[in-house]
Amino acid sequence: MHKRNVTLALLLFAGTVFAQQSAQPSMTPGQVTPDRTQVWMADTTSGGAPSAPPAPRSFDLDAIDTTSNPCVDFYQFACGNWVKTHTIPPDQTRWGRFNELAEYNRYLLYQDLEAAAKDPKTPLQKKYGEFYAACMNKTAADQAGHRPIQPLLRKVDALTAKSQLPSLMAQLQSQDATASLFRFGSQQDDKDATRRIARATQGGLGLPDRSYYLEDDPHTLKIRQAYVAHVTAMFQLVGDSPQAAQTEAANVMTIETALARSSTPRTDMRDPENVYHLLRLAQLQALTPAFDWDSYLQGVGVGSLPTLNVATPVFFLGMNTLIENQGLDVWKSYLRWNVVHSAAPYLSTAFVDASFDFYGKTLFGQKENQARWKRCTTLTDRSIGEAVGQDWVAQHFPPTSKQSVEKMVVALESAMKQDIAGLPWMTEATQQQAELKLAAIRNKIGYPSKWRDYSKLTVEPNELVPNVQRAGAFELRRELNKIGKPVNEKEWGMTPATVNAYYNPSMNDINFPAGILQPPFFDPTKDAAVNYGGIGVVIGHEMTHGFDDEGSQYDGKGNLRMWWTAADRKAFDQRTDCEVKEYSGFETAPGTHLNGKLTLGENTADNGGLRLAYQALMEALQKEGPQAMDRKVDGYTAAQQFFISYGQVWCSGQTDASMRVSAKVDPHSTGKWRVDGAVRNTDAFGKAFGCTKGQPMMPADACRVW
């Protein structure tokens, strides 16, 4: 997943964990056992309190398909039996090692939230316990129906002129109606990373991507028709007649289709220069005369601004035309829809089910909605994650784990420094700049050094929707209060319990929440080869993001500045073009290929991270002596363990519907090609498994950037 100014290395799953591995049946590599996923799901859905899912294992011998040739399809070799023994649970759209850890993490977090809801020991526990408990109160939600959003709906109904749109938009966005028309917040200034500025960018779509409104292939048409039916049904749930609901749904599609046409394609937004347009407020007002920005800014509590980044000017031109040309009733339909759509997952069962039927079943192929305890645990972590995270870290992330990962980061930094110095295609002038940037990277491990203050956030018992709205308003206010102030270099963009990691080019930092520093990524009981193949590659991946097609445009201080010589940049682009072509040739399903341009940054980071982690491992083993290089564990050399550990991180399955969405919006390649795509470009892999040139995993035309 990718966000402007935060390149997420991995797929985002909220969760928490640090626990002993659970006992599972041992078996000979290559043997297939009954479906482990279904066994666990049957247990967790049997009624009563949920039971703990099995903890993930690092270097899982049971997952290996020894009948497969690793030189032909390494993913099948590393993950073949895992795929055979794990189906996608009915409440998931994909299932892999990330999900295994996220589910276990979420269960531990659920236990903490349950305890805080029943018997809080501190004021902070009382706050997040009451937030969670309000979410769990299904009876109260069903009794309330859609009453919690009626005040906002009445405000929309009271609109008498389009000139009132800006102030109403501000009210809706301040209460978590986040899909409304455009996104507004703060960011580091790309050209002056020491300061925070305001930012306005495109948004306002109820479908995952602009292509869903503009393409006319059979599948996209089917999704679009289902979306209209869904919007119609939701309007009926708030009291519209069938005919009125159809009219309102048509109005919504009129607005959203026009917004889609004005939206910048996500591949174009990968270039930071394409989304940086620093304008004076008067210039933005001249660009959009139909929208009173002073009124909007007053409404969100910002007041006047000297300048702001208008990331997507064409979008705002289109928005202005829409305001001028569409009638007030059309706009009221669109705003009513945003109110309903935003709150639907937190309203009564009828709204929850209707929302899931489209966004879960139809769009992503999810068979069942997640249990309420799962949804409420995730919501609490997402809304006030650093409140929950403080207690979680104390329980589940020991200082020894933090220290071990810090040592690995140092080892990876050393490997990257050597890599940069040895690049044959880069001149000394650019190498020196690259080394300066590498030396300036900040490392954040586990959790923030200073916790977020939630004292001004009000949480009330049994008020789910108001609590969600207040949390949204609190977060917006926190973001907007940064405008015009120095950058807080210690701030995190993820909660401690998150199973993920990221590189932030404006901060020039790499961030590893405690949630991912667990098996299968990191296991202090395993050999170095296993950990370097897991979390070591993640570390190298994030470092490489600082030098991918996007991150490489920022210098060591986080400023968007071309620090390359023209010749070196040309050589760099030639190498990334190789990856674009290579990954665009990989099929995810018959007739469906990866988008090599969309996934370029993540593919570059996968390839670079794998190479750097292997280099760091070899240096660590050399210090132990020759015996370490030749020593076998479970029949595999250290080099083989390293690559198997990496491959098994990406063992996964995904619904066909979810795969189609990913092909349009996900900047990450699928699990198979994150594995096979990276190892085929790494010479050390072929040597480790005795491959010969010309085999699929050791091609003659391999790509390399870093």
pTM of the model: 0.92
Task: Say whether pLDDT at 604 is over 50.
Answer: yes
- The rounded mean pLDDT for the chain is 92
CB 695 within 8 A of CB 702: no
Alpha-carbon span 99 to 542, nearest angstrom? 20
Task: Say whether pLDDT at 3 is over 60.
Answer: no
What are the Cα distances from residue 32, in Å, to 25, 207, 289, 624, 651? 11, 40, 66, 36, 15
Q: How far is CA 288 from the centre of its chain?
A: 32
Place of tokens 């394409």: 274
What is the residue type of 443?
Answer: N
CB 497 within 8 A of CB 389: yes
| pLDDT tens-digit series, residues 80-97 | 999 999 999 999 999 999
Alpha-carbon span 452 to 387, nearest angstrom? 7
Q: Which residues are the active-site residues?
A: 542, 606
CATH of domain 147-346: 1.10.1380.10
| pLDDT tens-digit series, residues 431-472 | 999 999 999 999 999 999 999 999 999 999 999 999 999 999
| pLDDT tens-digit series, residues 14-63 | 222 222 222 222 222 233 333 334 333 333 333 457 888 888 889 999 99
Q: Which fold, 2-108+376-450+490-689?
A: Collagenase (Catalytic Domain) (3.40.390)
| pLDDT tens-digit series, residues 619-659 | 999 998 888 888 899 999 999 999 999 999 999 999 999 99
Q: Where in the chain is the domain with CATH 3.40.390.10?
A: 2-108+376-450+490-689
Res 18: pLDDT: 20
| pLDDT tens-digit series, residues 336-394 | 999 999 999 999 999 999 999 999 999 999 999 999 999 999 999 999 999 999 999 99
Kindly give, in sequence order, each residue whose CB lies less than 8 Å from that of residue 263, ignoring residues fewer than 6 positions away. 202, 205, 210, 312, 315
Q: Where in the chain is the domain with CATH 1.10.1380.10?
A: 147-346
